[in-house]
Amino acid sequence: MSSDSDAAALARLIAESRRAVVFTGAGISTESGIPDFRSPGGIWTQMAPIYFDDFLASEEARRETWRRRFAMEREFGGAKPNRGHRAVAELVRRGTVASVITQNIDGLHQRSGVPVSRVIELHGNTTYAHCLDCGTRHELDDIRHDFERDGKAPRCRRCKGFVKTATISFGQAMPQAEMRRAEIATLAADLFIVLGSSLVVYPAAGFPELAKRNGARLAIVNREPTGLDEIADLVIHQGIGDTLGQAVGVN
Ligand SMILES: [Zn+2]
């Protein structure tokens, strides 16, 4: 199939939907230059991950976590939403898409104009931090200033608790409230659109399965084959920005 007919088939599914949900993975953000950290050769296969228990137990692990975070900021902090993000935002604006469930932690859906209330972040958000004890939000720019001056892992300005990016670490439980919201959104959907996820990380990958079992149509746009291609109504192994941008009419 040519990419024209792929985009047309996706446009048709979207036109026939009354309530769609979008589910995004690393593949939508690689088009903004943010690497897929879990892919072979990705950063997480070169550096041992720091588990949540180690973060809690060790000042050295906390320092190393923050050192990596700011190194990442220097490389990818300038990343901007791409055509795929803009097309998703347009579908939300039109009311076609009710919720965006994402495995990404980069905040690019919000930056592309999707209201914060419509984004369900399964793995949290790395663009800000919070205190693990009292929840107070901390901005990265403030933390970096102190970190570069003192070389110490940041502590909460209010309660001195440990401060960590608002992400879900290895060894940390999935966020219950977000999982529940994602489930509700999935069960309400008549069309479930996967963008840039290989659908191998559970429990997140369970949502498209749930949608399909619940009678929704399933569309998958991902460069590589995914674990759920066989049960999908439409599978497109092409770039997301071009495919969805064309389907939605967004540049
Ligand atoms: Zn605190």
- For tokens 């995914």, the residue is 226
Taking the CB of residue 26, how many other CB atoms lie within 10 A of it? 22
Would the CA dihedral through 161, 163, 158, 124 be positive or negative? negative
How many angstroms separate the alpha carbon of residue 56 from the centre of ligand 1? 14
| pLDDT recorded at residue 46 | 67
pLDDT at 93 over 80: yes
- Distances in Å between the alpha carbon of 62 and those of 26, 75, 156, 165? 25, 20, 13, 11
| pLDDT recorded at residue 110 | 98
How many angstroms separate the alpha carbon of residue 158 from the centre of ligand 1? 5
How many angstroms separate the alpha carbon of residue 41 from the centre of ligand 1? 36
Contacts of 152 (CB under 8 A, 6+ apart): 59, 63, 146
| pLDDT recorded at residue 47 | 77
| pLDDT recorded at residue 196 | 97
Contacts of 235 (CB under 8 A, 6+ apart): 219, 220, 226, 229
| pLDDT recorded at residue 159 | 98
pLDDT at 14 over 50: yes
Cα–Cα distance measured from residue 26 to residue 222, given in angstroms and rounded to the nearest whole number? 10
Mean pLDDT of 224-229: 95
Residues annotated catalytic, as ranges: 123
At residue 156, what are phi and psi to the nearest 5 degrees? Answer: -60, 135
How many angstroms separate the alpha carbon of residue 204 from the centre of ligand 1? 29
Residues with CB under 5 A from ligand 1 (ion): 131, 133-134, 136, 156, 158-159, 161
How many angstroms separate the alpha carbon of residue 10 from the centre of ligand 1? 46
Cα–Cα distance measured from residue 93 to residue 87, given in angstroms and rounded to the nearest whole number? 10
| pLDDT recorded at residue 41 | 55
Contacts of 102 (CB under 8 A, 6+ apart): 23, 24, 25, 109, 119, 120, 121, 122, 123
How many angstroms separate the alpha carbon of residue 177 from the centre of ligand 1? 21
How many angstroms separate the alpha carbon of residue 139 from the centre of ligand 1? 13
Q: What is the pTM of this model?
A: 0.93
How many angstroms separate the alpha carbon of residue 153 from the centre of ligand 1? 14
pLDDT tens-digit map of 173-202:
999 999 999 999 999 999 999 999 999 888
| pLDDT recorded at residue 1 | 44
pLDDT tens-digit map of 136-184:
999 999 999 999 999 999 999 999 999 999 999 999 999 999 999 999 9
- Distances in Å between the alpha carbon of 13 and those of 17, 170, 202, 216? 6, 36, 26, 11
